[in-house]
Structure 1
Amino acid sequence: FLIRVKTSHGFSAVTSFVGSGKRSIITELSPKQNRSYHDKSYTKESRLKIRLVRVDLPSGEVEVLMSTLLDSKKYPSKMFKDLYFLRWGIETFYDELKNKLKVEHFTGYSENTIRQDFMCAIFISNLQSVMVNDMREELVMQNLEKKYDYKVNNNLSYGFLKNRILELLSESQPLETIFRELQELFLKNTIPIRNNRTNQRNKDKFRARVKPKVTKNQKDAI
């Protein structure tokens, strides 16, 4: 595994590692000693050997990654920043499922209802991806003379799909017609891709349940 861990108020081994100034160390983690382990597959004597890697961000912030990739020759410290960044596409997809497609807003409590709602969200996501991929070349040509490359605003495109999904399923109109009308809406609602842009992590937003501010093109579409 490879995860990011807190640099303070977390594992004591991590706090010590940050203070040492080292780039990478191998250490062991042990479970809490003041609890019962009768229902666990491990005991209080168990130990997990892990590797800690320090990553210095452009903002000056220190990030610590924890991994079970212990071989420093096979997995040098310099590769961990890029390796951890590979999870970004997965995390943004979870963000879309939870915050744009509202996958956790179930319409019932039974197992079948939850499965059905979840698969509906996946279906909408897959359908949107297919439609966007089909118009990728057209999107590039539309923005050739602009400063940035552009991509479809996923949030708005889900909203457009929501408004036409019954027509798609009932085939009240030719599918090609509906697809083309939706793609034209997608092309009119794009956002620039600004590479290597970083935003300072706002830790306070996780401490207080404050309603976040959203721009007009990021309001809930579903």
Structure 2
Amino acid sequence: MRWPVKTKYDLVKNKLQMENFTSRTVEGIQQDFYATLYLANTVAITTYDAQVEIDEARKDKENRYDYQTSRNELIGIFKDRFLPAVVQEDPDTSTAMIQSIIDEITRSVVPKRLGRSIPRNPSPGKSKFHHNHKVNC
């Protein structure tokens, strides 16, 4: 039941780099914080809109897997193209730019592979030799 919460934290902290502040002042850090949360919510809304279009486009196809938007591609597209689309003065141009973002997102899909079982390494960080005893040649 906690998995969706943990994946949201992963999105906010690692992919959107919440802790990578661009300012040292209190106001600047607050602006970065709220801008990142706004971006995370916008990514979630856009993911839903793009998923509706993906499901509609693939409903007649006989695919082995269901497909979903690639969240990494979505974040990369948003970081480059969302702000210029929002600050447009002409609402028609802004709408067209946002629709082109959604169209590009719907083209970058990945399959949902449910029920996979990958064997885990029980001690991934354990090395054969202690680091203090390495030869420095």
TM-score by shorter chain over 0.5 = yes
Partner SS for 1:199: coil
Q: Which has the larger radius of gyration?
A: 1
Residue 105 of structure 2 is aligned to residue 190 of structure 1: no
Once residues 204 and 112 of structure 1 are traced to their aligned partners in structure 2, the CA distance between those partners, rounded to angstroms, is 43
Equivalent residue runs for 1:68-79 within 5 Å: none
Residue 64 of structure 2 is aligned to residue 139 of structure 1: no
Once residues 206 and 118 of structure 1 are traced to their aligned partners in structure 2, the CA distance between those partners, rounded to angstroms, is 32
Residue 55 of structure 2 is aligned to residue 110 of structure 1: no
Partner SS for 2:83: helix
Residue from 115, 126, 145 that aligns with 2:41: 126
Instruction: Report deviation, 1:165.
Output: 2.5
Runs (5+) with no aligned partner, structure 1: 1-85, 209-222
How has the CA–CA distance of structure 1 residues 90 and 196 changed in structure 2, closer, same or farther, with 3 Å as cutoff? same
| TM-score normalised to structure 2 length | 0.77
Residue 10 of structure 2 is aligned to residue 95 of structure 1: yes
How has the CA–CA distance of structure 1 residues 142 and 202 changed in structure 2, closer, same or farther, with 3 Å as cutoff? farther
Instruction: Report deviation, 1:163.
Output: 0.9
Matched-pair identity in %: 27
Once residues 193 and 122 of structure 1 are traced to their aligned partners in structure 2, the CA distance between those partners, rounded to angstroms, is 26
Runs (5+) with no aligned partner, structure 2: 128-137
- Spell out structure 1 runs of 4+ moving beyond 4 A: 201-208
Once residues 82 and 120 of structure 2 are traced to their aligned partners in structure 1, the CA distance between those partners, rounded to angstroms, is 37
Aligned residues: 123
More strand by share: 1
More helix by share: 2
| TM-score normalised to structure 1 length | 0.50
Tell me the alpha carbon deviations over residues 18-61 of structure 1, each in whole angstroms, 9 at most, x when there is no partner: xxxxxxxxxxxxxxxxxxxxxxxxxxxxxxxxxxxxxxxxxxxx
